[in-house]
Chain A
Amino acid sequence: MWEYTDKVKEHFLNPRNVGTIEDADGVGEVGSLACGDALTFYFKLDDNGKIKDAKFQTFGCASAIASSSALTEMVRGLTLEEAAKITNEDIANYLGGLPKEKMHCSVMGRDALEKAISCYRGEAEKKVEGEIVCECFGITDLEIERVVRENHLKTIEDVTDYVKAGGGCGNCHDRIQEIIDSILGTERPAKKQAVQLTNLQKIKLIEESIEREINPMLQKDAGKLELIDVDGNRVLVRLGGTCAACTKSHVTLKHYVEAKLKELVTPELVVEEVQ
């Protein structure tokens, strides 16, 4: 059973502002039946441009209903500029927190609010921007990047908890990891000074990196990387386990394995696969 706060339970059992607004100024629809949760959010402005009424309809679990109910309470009396500043974390905090696995419910609230505001401002329905990363839940790289930055997420599991990406077949895990890595990379303080390594040190470091960092990651998908040889800065490897048969393995090799080795050992390295 989930550990919901009293406030979540209260908003779930007695949701505020359920329904529709016939002549709404803004409407935002997110989610779908297939995904297991969906929310339609409505607001109406007063003469001063402040939200005087907000309503919702939600299909979903207790935390989805509570997040929607909380959102309608939070936006009342706000101007659209003020409302636009509400983050998913604000919604979760309003409810005294949500279980980690349920954070996507608060993200759904924020998304519906944003859509409703765009709708009011007459902005054309935003085309799907960016490239779809998670096919199961239709999540793009831009959406993942945003949630990683805003909530300081560090693992694939975190991303799944917040936007569901990666929670289905798992084929996109490498790509999500890359996005996280690239963001953590940019936020990381200046890199330590490169040290000239001897050949022996370099090989040892490559071995260690594969053992400690890379293989544990690959093993999650039952893959495996074997170091065959190191020739100057050419790292010769062989892929095993499920990687051997995976059509995306070259992506893993370049974008994950090579990037990781460049980061952990030396930027000059090039990874090559041998059969």
Chain B
Amino acid sequence: MNVIYMDNNATTRVAPEVLEAMLPYFSEYYGNPSSMHSFGGDVAAKIKEARENVATLIGAVPDEIVFTSCGTESDSTAIRAAIESYPDKRHIITTRVEHPAIKNLYENLSKKGYRVTFVPVDSYGCLDLDYLYQNLSDDTAIVSIMWANNETGVIFPIAEISQEIKSRDIVFHTDAVQAIGKIPIDVDKTGVDMLSLSGHKFHAPKGIGALYIRKGTKFAPFMVGGHQERGRRGGTENTAAIIGLGKAAQLAKKHLDENGYERIKGLRDKLEINLLENVQNTIVNGDRDNRLPNTTSIAFEYVEGEAILLMMNEHGICASSGSACTSGSLEPSHVLRAMGVPFTAAHGSIRFSLSRYNTEEEVDFVVEKLPPIIENLRALSPFWKKAMGT
């Protein structure tokens, strides 16, 4: 069975060019980049090149890039660095719709005595900026706000927020894991102090990420060890993965420069419009005018997400859900709840996230297969007929 992969906000395929770039660095050029011999030194040169590529993708200079093992490590490093650099400050800010890498870290810090402000969102998933600004104080060590939401794709006004925070002595971090490679990002123009990214969300392998640290930002390492990454992250470099990340960054830059996301947006819109037309009682979660071009979160009322996913799985269609049952928790996604999405819709929300590898045929296939699945599940549901008043 063909796999129709529309779960690219979960992870992506490693691009063939990326894999090709990485392969020689496992058993052929396996030198340690810290070594004095040129066998290691040659690998160091490749890492330098990768760092330049990642920097170019986000408008940074190479020295501002620290390689990490994943987005979560980048996030943890950023937040802990900020609170360690400002030991007298006891207040930290984030949003109610962050990825668990930030959300759970903040909850943890709250238990350790930090005062935490979670900025709410409206029913479109847009941030309450007034609330954010009102809560900034001299006691605030760090503000961390995701660039784009992983479930709805809604983009936050990072540049605007940065303007407001800049005048104060507060670190501004953004988890840009979902935005990188999907929309153009320029840290220089935006003015964020730190930015997290993760390779496997834009066609590099899993297990590699990076943290951008603006020059002059106070910093303390999370992983202390050797002098790698100029002392900002100890541990022997994951050389092949770093080289893969560099290649993926180069490909992403090219894709963005050529407006490749316009094609993805076209496919996403086609999928969304057709599903809305062909399935009644269907709602798009989030601000449709201000989203990542590849993401749509669609709520099919009165059916449950896990059941939809497993029925789609029978046709090889891969997506994900904001329903309770899929996450292992008993409550639907904190993002949809923060937006006030009613239970009738939250339990039946499905996220489709596309990549440059998706085709129009695949979109047509999903548009053909999904409506009867929803119809079948609604026929099973005791609420559907009641809701329809029959």
Contact = CB atoms under 8 A, between A and B. Distances in A.
A12 B111 contact: no
A218 B302 CA distance: 39
Contacts of B380: 15, 18, 57-59, 65
A59 B381 contact: yes
B304 A60 contact: yes
Contacts of B307: 12, 60-62, 65
A161 B331 CA distance: 13
A241 B324 CA distance: 30
Interface string B269-303: 00000000000000000000000000000000011
A36 B330 contact: yes
7 nearest A-B residue pairs (beta carbon) = A167-B330, A61-B325, A61-B306, A222-B111, A57-B382, A59-B381, A40-B382
5 contacts: A13-B311, A18-B379, A39-B382, A60-B325, A62-B310
B51 interface: no
Interface residues of B, number: 26
Q: SS class of chain A's interface: helix, strand, loop or mixed?
A: mixed
Interface string A142-181: 0000000000000000001000100110000000000000
A62 B325 CA distance: 9
Nearest to B323: A36
A60 B326 CA distance: 11
Contacts of B332: 36
A164 B303 contact: no
Contact of B330 (A38, A57, A164): A164
Nearest to B305: A61
B7 to A, nearest CB: 12
B343 interface: yes
Given A12-B310, A60-B307, A33 B331 contact: no
Nearest to B303: A59
A168 B311 CA distance: 27
Contacts of B324: 36
Interface in B361-383: 379-383
B333 to A, nearest CB: 12
B336 to A, nearest CB: 12
A131 to B, nearest CB: 21
Contact of A59 (B314, B326, B330, B383): B383
A110 to B, nearest CB: 17
Interface string B93-128: 000000000000000000100000000000000000
B310 A59 contact: no
B329 A167 contact: yes
Contacts of A15: 380
Interface string A9-43: 10011010010000000000100011111111000
B87 interface: no
A59 B380 CA distance: 7
B389 interface: no
B268 interface: no
Contact of B302 (A39, A59, A160, A167): A59
A58 B384 CA distance: 10
B328 interface: yes
Contacts of B310: 9, 12, 62
B347 interface: yes
Contacts of B217: none
Nearest to A68: B380
Interface in B314-351: 314, 323-326, 328-332, 343-344, 347
Contacts of A12: 307, 310
Contacts of B303: 59
B10 to A, nearest CB: 12
A58 B314 contact: no
B382 A36 contact: no
A120 interface: no
A61 B330 CA distance: 12
A242 B382 contact: no
A33 B344 contact: yes
A58 B381 contact: yes
A57 B343 contact: no
Nearest to A104: B330
Contacts of B326: 61
A107 B304 CA distance: 18
Nearest to B330: A167
